[in-house]
Amino acid sequence: MEFTLNIDPKCRETVVANVHRRTALTDEIEELVRNYTGDDQLPGYTEDDMRMLTFSEIELICVQEGKTFAVDNRGHEYRLKLRLYELEERLPPSFIRINKSALANEKHLMRFSAGFSGAVDAVFRCGRKEYVSRRCFAEIKRRINAK
């Protein structure tokens, strides 16, 4: 497979892919191109400052006590000013709902851990664990099996 990137500030942006057949990769590329808005960052706030978080460094977005937080790949929490449903519309397809109040970046999921009671937790690279609802887990399994 070959890859060519031509950067010319004067031309109109187009993406052309010449492939032998449609695959999961071509579907993902198409979805990324169609959904790309040029905005791949969110402002995250701590008590002291504000930092722009790229989508690729965010592992988890969750709601705690009515406030929305993003957890980055180092395990640091940042307050977001958007609601979960607003974020769902803006985030790339790699973010999946894992329960009523959390979205996970599937690229940062290490594994799923089952407890004795049958509960399932998502374990992230930063070491954080978050509960996965049964309904969402069924959808995640379907999504993984489709790949």
Does 90 map to a domain?
yes
Tell me what the mean pLDDT of segment 49-53 comes to.
92
Does 22 map to a domain?
no
Token reading at 28: 């993902």
Does 1 map to a domain?
no
pLDDT of residue 103: 96
Does 10 map to a domain?
no
Q: Output the CA–CA distances (angstroms, integers) from residue 64 to 49, 114, 129, in the order listed.
A: 20, 23, 14
Tell me what the mean pLDDT of segment 27-41 comes to.
76
Given a contact cutoff of 8 angstroms between Cβ atoms, the answer to whether 136 and 120 are in contact is no
Given a contact cutoff of 8 angstroms between Cβ atoms, the answer to whether 140 and 98 are in contact is yes
pLDDT of residue 29: 82
> Containing domain of residue 77, as a range?
41-146
- pTM, 2 dp: 0.71
Task: Indicate which CATH number applies to the domain containing 71.
Answer: 2.40.50.1020
Q: Output the CA–CA distances (angstroms, integers) from residue 95 to 20, 50, 62, 102, in the order listed.
A: 29, 23, 12, 10
Model confidence at 31, pLDDT cuts 50, 70, 90, reads: confident
Q: What is the mean pLDDT of the chain?
A: 88
How many domains would you assign to the chain?
1
